[in-house]
């Protein structure tokens, strides 16, 4: 199959799939999701993605209709139905199908969705441009909720400005990006926002922290400001699809480029880990 959609046991090409209008995702975005890359039919960091998925579901009191082991087995089975093993894998759970009412419906099973589409290997060495925006989202950014309208609007604004990502900030504090985490290198130290309720604790963020520790680069999980970001030696952006890339400018002002050797060591190590885990 070229693409694949899955909904509660039914699957097929995405263009042929449909869902009930009364799925609560249609009325409320009532659910959570996770996503990541696959290469050579091997899903990268599958344990971490599934763990985060179940954690997000638990935080909004959705009972995932399968175990972690069953979900992993399902995802691997769906991957093997594809024409290529280099894929983007997305999965979500919604609170179920019921006539619209704000309160949780009773005795209604959750709905499980999966989407697969082809995706090439990320290019870590191509720098990106960033745009800053005030973070006006709610105070539960640690939940990977389906309610992504603020991120959609921010990403569109960045695109219209010729940028590849938007950096959110609350006052002076940098939180994260529209669909990524962001970090800075300064004086040989990696600074990354703490994993509190203002950011989603990204899988790629965790891998970056682990790589830096292996390279004996100190890591500080402390808040940093927009000014500190603009003055950083390097600005890094991590996500499950892009892994880790550096920024060349923010709001039209050049940034980074002051620690190229350290940056290359980090990017090489991130790519090496990805290639090793997903080798044929």
In this structure, are 41 and 170 located in the same domain?
no
Provide the pLDDT confidence category of residue 276 given band limits of 50, 70 and 90.
very high
Is 121 part of any domain? no
Structure tokens that stand for 82 in this block: 């594809």
State the Cα angle at 25 between 88 and 17, rounded to 5°: 55
**DSSP element (H, E) containing 55:** helix 46-59
Q: Are residues 106 and 137 both part of a single domain? A: no
Q: How confident is the model at residue 25 (pLDDT cuts 50, 70, 90)?
A: very high
Return the pLDDT at 22: 98
Q: How confident is the model at residue 267 (pLDDT cuts 50, 70, 90)?
A: very high
Domain's final residue, options 98, 116, 134 = 116
Question: What residues make up the domain containing 136?
Answer: 126-276
Confidence of residue 127 (pLDDT cuts 50, 70, 90): very high
Cite the active site residues. Answer: 144
Q: What does the pLDDT look like over 140-178, one tens digit per residue?
A: 999 999 999 999 999 999 999 999 999 999 998 999 999
Q: What token pair was written down for 256?
A: 């980074």
Among 87, 116, 145, where does a domain finish?
116
Q: How far apart are alpha carbons 277 and 198 in whole angstroms? A: 30
Tens-digit pLDDT profile for residues 203-261: 999 999 999 999 999 999 999 999 999 999 999 999 999 999 999 999 999 999 999 99
- pTM here is 0.95
Cβ 6 vs Cβ 113: under 8 Å: yes
Could you tell me if 153 and 250 lie in one domain?
Answer: yes
* Mean of pLDDT values over 259-273: 98
- On average, the pLDDT of the chain sits at 97
Are 47 and 55 in contact, with CB atoms under 8 Å apart? no
**Total structural domains within the chain:** 2
- Per the structure block, which two tokens stand in for 159? 């695109």
């Amino acid at each position: 199959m070229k693409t694949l959609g899955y909904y509660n046991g039914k699957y097929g090409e995405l263009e042929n799939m449909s869902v009930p209008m009364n799925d609560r995702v249609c009325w409320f975005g009532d659910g959570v999701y996770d996503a990541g890359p696959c290469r050579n039919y091997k899903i990268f960091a599958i344990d971490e993605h599934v763990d985060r998925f179940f954690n997000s579901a638990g935080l909004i009191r959705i009972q995932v209709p399968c175990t972690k082991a069953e979900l992993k087995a399902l995802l691997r089975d769906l991957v093997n139905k594809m024409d290529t093993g280099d894929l983007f894998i997305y999965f979500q759970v919604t609170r179920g199908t019921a006539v619209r009412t704000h309160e949780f419906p009773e005795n209604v099973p959750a709905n499980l969705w999966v989407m697969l589409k082809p995706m090439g290997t990320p290019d870590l060495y191509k720098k990106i441009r960033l745009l800053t925006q005030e973070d006006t989202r709610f105070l539960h950014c640690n939940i990977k909720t389906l309610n992504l309208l603020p991120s959609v609007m921010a990403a569109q604004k960045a695109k219209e400005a010729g940028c590849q990502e938007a950096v959110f900030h609350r006052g002076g504090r940098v939180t994260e990006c529209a669909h990524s985490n962001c970090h800075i290198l300064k004086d040989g130290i990696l600074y990354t926002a703490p994993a509190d309720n203002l950011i989603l604790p990204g899988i790629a963020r965790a891998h970056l922290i682990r790589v830096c520790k292996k390279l004996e680069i100190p890591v500080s999980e402390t808040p940093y400001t927009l000014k500190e970001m603009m003055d950083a030696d390097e600005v890094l952006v991590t996500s499950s699809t892009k892994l880790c890339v550096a920024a060349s400018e923010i709001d039209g002002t050049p940034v980074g480029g002051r620690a190229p050797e350290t940056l290359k060591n980090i990017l090489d190590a991130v790519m090496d880990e990805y290639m090793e885990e997903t080798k044929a």
